[in-house]
Amino acid sequence: MGVCGYLFLPWKCLVVVSLRLLFLVPTGVPVRSGDATFPKAMDNVTVRQGESATLRCTIDDRVTRVAWLNRSTILYAGNDKWSIDPRVIILVNTPTQYSIMIQNVDVYDEGPYTCSVQTDNHPKTSRVHLIVQVPPQIMNISSDITVNEGSSVTLLCLAIGRPEPTVTWRHLSVKEGQGFVSEDEYLEISDIKRDQSGEYECSALNDVAAPDVRKVKITVNYPPYISKAKNTGVSVGQKGILSCEASAVPMAEFQWFKEDTRLATGLGGVRIENKGHISTLTFFNVSEKDYGNYTCVATNKLGNTNASITLYEISPSSAVAGPGAVIDGVNSASRALACLWLSGTLFAHFLIKF
């Protein structure tokens, strides 16, 4: 008991008690632990969860008793198995080596194991630490989320692993190398902006295996704003198209007005077409009454906005005469050349005849 009183670690005390059970340590004899020269156990053993660990102890023929202990519990004493754990098996018991194997190692197997021997009535022990590594694994991660611009978002990414993995968050929609947004399990964004929408990647990293990576998508809703609305000039009798482009999440719905009248496909020879962010108002055959100001209204659940677009008259001559005149000019020039050539040929003909 005196020995135990002086020892720091309670498991050490238990080891001594266990060894006394085996008569490896006579009562009252202190145990010298961690003897550097003998018996020689290996350096610390590092294995991955699920693999097998071999605990090796080098001995010589002066050794009369041998045992391997897990903390205070005897696993094997000589060839006798004391452990009831089927994963523990004896590998080698020769005059020079005494080794056991722990199969399918799990994290709770981590800790100190002791090789204990008795030589010339002197008990000696040597200790080895079994270190169990676990690849990083993300256990719990936030789901994809949709929020309104200006609100706050917190994403969570919980990972396990041994050693404890480092967790980082990266915004994938931004340029390479600029996307690190958090070096933590939590990613907090307050007053979120529309350009902060997109995919975020959580990565859990330790030096055991490849990082575990998962993605979360943040959708940021914002009210529409009209990015393109151009006034258009058309002459009477031609086809005219007004178009209106709006950016919004969720996507905007469009309406067209002339003064207070809402326009609809089929009414007054117009067609309204919405394709994604763009809405077009088509006049199949523009007449005088069509000219004027139109209002394009873009709406989603967060609000609406509008823009005024003018359909204005251009003279048919300025639209057609310009290019037409050029074509005419080319034609008359080539015609003149042809005439010159023809008259020359005729003249030659005339000379040959006479």
Ligand X SMILES: *[C@@H]1O[C@H](CO)[C@@H](O)[C@H](O)[C@H]1NC(C)=O
Residues of this chain that bind ligand X (CB under 6 A): 43-44, 70-71, 75, 83, 85, 88, 102, 108-109, 129, 140, 156, 237, 257, 285, 292-293, 295, 297, 306, 308, 310
Q: CB neighbours of 5 closer than 8 A, spacing ≥ 6?
A: none
Q: At closest approach, how far in Å is the CB of 255 from ligand X? A: 8
Q: Provide the 3-class DSSP secondary structure of residue 107.
A: helix
Q: At closest approach, how far in Å is the CB of 133 from ligand X? A: 12
For residues 25 and 297, which CB has a smaller minimum distance to ligand X in the complex? 297
Q: At closest approach, how far in Å is the CB of 68 from ligand X? A: 9
For residues 120 and 288, which CB has a smaller minimum distance to ligand X in the complex? 288
- Range 173-182, long-range pairs (CB < 8 A, 24+ positions): 173/197, 173/198, 173/199, 174/198
For residues 71 and 122, which CB has a smaller minimum distance to ligand X in the complex? 71
Q: Provide the 3-class DSSP secondary structure of residue 167.
A: strand
For residues 303 and 324, which CB has a smaller minimum distance to ligand X in the complex? 303
Q: Quick check: 230 and 243 in contact, CB under 8 A?
A: yes
Q: CB neighbours of 142 closer than 8 A, spacing ≥ 6?
A: 154, 155, 156, 157, 216
Helix (H) or strand (E) holding 331: helix 316-353
Q: At closest approach, how far in Å is the CB of 324 from ligand X? A: 19
Q: CB neighbours of 140 closer than 8 A, spacing ≥ 6?
A: 156, 157, 158
For residues 131 and 209, which CB has a smaller minimum distance to ligand X in the complex? 131
Q: Which of 77, 100, 74, 79 shows the shortest CA–CA distance to 89?
A: 100
For residues 261 and 334, which CB has a smaller minimum distance to ligand X in the complex? 261
- Which two three-digit tokens encode residue 311? 């359909």
Q: At closest approach, how far in Å is the CB of 82 from ligand X? A: 10
Q: At closest approach, how far in Å is the CB of 335 from ligand X? A: 32
DSSP 231: -
Q: At closest approach, how far in Å is the CB of 113 from ligand X? A: 8
Q: At closest approach, how far in Å is the CB of 142 from ligand X? A: 8
Handedness of CA 77, 79, 85, 87 (dihedral sign): positive
Q: At closest approach, how far in Å is the CB of 263 from ligand X? A: 11
| Distance separating alpha carbons of residues 163 and 71, to the nearest angstrom | 22
Q: CB neighbours of 179 closer than 8 A, spacing ≥ 6?
A: 170, 171, 172, 173
| Distance separating alpha carbons of residues 245 and 227, to the nearest angstrom | 6
For residues 119 and 255, which CB has a smaller minimum distance to ligand X in the complex? 255
For residues 274 and 343, which CB has a smaller minimum distance to ligand X in the complex? 274
For residues 83 and 280, which CB has a smaller minimum distance to ligand X in the complex? 83
| Distance separating alpha carbons of residues 245 and 215, to the nearest angstrom | 31
